[in-house]
Amino acid sequence: MGLYVCLTSAATRQRHPAKFDLITSDPPISPYNSSEFKSQIAVTMSDPDKQCSGTDCNNEARTLQCPTCLKLGVKGSYFCNQDCFKRNWTTHKVVHKTQNASQLYDPFPAYPYTGSVRPVYPLSPRRPVPKTIKHPDWAETGIPKREMRLSRSKWDLLDVKGQEAMRKVCRLAREVLDITAAAMKPGVTTDYLDEICHNACVERESYPSPLNYNHFPKSLCTSPNEVVCHGIPDQRILLDGDILNLDISLYHGGYHADVNETYYIGDKAEADPDSIRLIETTRQTLDMAIEIIKPGVPIREFGKIIEKHAASRGLVVVKTWGGHGINSEFHPPPWIPHYAKNKAVGTCKPGMTFTIEPILALGGNREVYWPDDWTNVTVDGKRTAQFEHTMLVTETGVEVLTARLANSPGGPIPIPEVANGNTNGKVKQ
């Protein structure tokens, strides 16, 4: 999706003790959800003359430091060994709660949230992109000036050179999505995932397209549970039972790529029939729409297929958001609705590159914005899921430029029959 409809919305709204292990590369686990918290101890390069923080312990601390204290900026939390850290955990963790309470906050405490998700601030500082990497025009000003001047009736058809450039940037986008998705698990923050994504983009000499697009503050969109789209990565940790959409866009070699998937977080999510029905049906609607792409197929046909299959599973299409063209511009025409009886004009032509990215909801399809003017959530607080690919129309059909790889994280799981309204407990393959 990138941040397409929010460009229009921006103008309209006038906003131009547990398990103790040594940490290796995993992030420290956040302290403010005690029911899910697994404590760990970090190996750091510290002063060997530091005294252990354990109660009544006079040993030298050497190189062991509490990882949560590292994350919260608490200094001096050194321990002599893991056993000492474990013995002192009950008293030591009070430091985390005190420090955390003074640093993490809800920026909109009076806002009537519709579901369980809350923003957890402060946001981390904007991550830099080296000047040696080609930047889109909004990187400095926050305004996509070229895109705003585009004709909505003119569609670009890519030549061989442009098609090869799109293949490359889409391959890179798939790599970045898979790297970011592999880092998901209960206990990590969405800001940590943003860091993973950002660094992976930079390593591939790519600019993360969402960064500063209409002043969006992060390098990807993270949308959990009732968040429809465009969630801002922050200090909220992922919980066992969440579902999470990762929406990744790259700019490389003068071209953009756009891809997103919704994932299960932890075993609880993979055991929830409604979440499975939602995610797998959404995945299927995208696949079914892709199957009919070929030259001459009307753009309006995709929505008919998507909404029909969604309704057959008791789900609704969120109609505000749609697919879009993508090439050297982030969101050029055409606009691609995901619902039936739409009035989209035009047909598929060889050389066209565009996205299809349906969003389905368990409840109603009405949405509302959080006060950050980005995070879009369902009015009834029910969950949504989304999937997206970037496609190239060929002479005979379609090429899915952001297709999953054999080792891509996630992937489909069977839908329980009970999730389709039956109660016999059988599983629908």
Summarize pLDDT for 55-92 with one digit per residue, the tens: 556 677 766 778 777 766 666 677 888 888 887 776 66
Answer yes or no: is 347 within a domain. yes
Mean pLDDT of 189-198: 98
Q: Is pLDDT of 44 > 50?
A: no
Position 246 pLDDT exceeds 80: yes
CATH code for the domain in which residue 196 is found: 3.90.230.10
* 10-29 pLDDT per residue, tens: 333 333 323 223 222 343 33
Range from 19-23, 114-118, 157-161, 401-405 carrying the lowest mean pLDDT: 19-23
Q: What residues pair up with 380 in beta bridges, in sequence order? A: none
Q: Is residue 223 in some structural domain?
A: yes
What is the chain's mean pLDDT, rounded?
Answer: 86
Q: What is the pLDDT of residue 429?
A: 33
Q: Is residue 301 marked as binding?
A: no
**Domain count for the chain:** 1
Asked whether residue 36 is marked as a ligand-binding residue, the answer is no
Report pLDDT for 47.
40
Name the pTM for this structure: 0.78
Q: Euclidean distance between the first and final Cα of the chain, in Å? A: 29
For tokens 């990590």, the residue is 188
Annotated binding residue at 372? no
Q: What are the pLDDT digits (tens) for 154-163?
A: 899 999 999 9
Beta strands in 189-275 (DSSP E): 207-208, 221-224, 227-229, 243-252, 255-264
Domain that holds residue 142: 136-428
Predicted confidence at residue 72, as pLDDT, reads: 66
Q: Output the pLDDT for position 66.
A: 81
Share of the chain above pLDDT 70, in %: 79
Least confident of 16-25, 243-252, 301-310: 16-25
pLDDT of residue 58: 64
Could you tell me the strand order of the sheet in which 227-229 lies? 227-229, 376-378, 367-369
**357 labeled part of a ligand binding site:** yes
Of the candidate ranges 17-31, 109-123, 153-167, 176-190, the one whose mean pLDDT is the lowest? 17-31
Residue 89 domain-assigned? no
H/E element, 191: helix 190-203
Residue 389: inside a domain: yes
Only one residue has tokens 């970037």, namely 390
Known binder of ligand: residue 230?
A: yes
pLDDT tens for residues 96-108? 654 555 589 999 9
- Is residue 222 assigned to a domain? yes
pLDDT at position 41 is 33
Assess whether pLDDT exceeds 50 at residue 402: yes
Domain contains 28: no
What residue type is 210 in one-letter code?
P
Residue 399 lies in a domain: yes
Closest listed residue to residue 216, CA positions, set 233, 238, 235: 233
Q: How confident is the model at residue 273 (pLDDT cuts 50, 70, 90)?
A: very high
Q: Output the pLDDT for position 76.
A: 63
**What is the per-residue pLDDT across 341-368, written as a single tens digit (0 to 9) for each?**
999 999 999 999 999 999 999 999 999 9
Within-domain flag for 1:
no
Q: What count of Cα atoms within 13 Å lies in the side-chain half-sphere of residue 257?
A: 31
Contact present, 1 and 260 (Cβ < 8 Å): yes
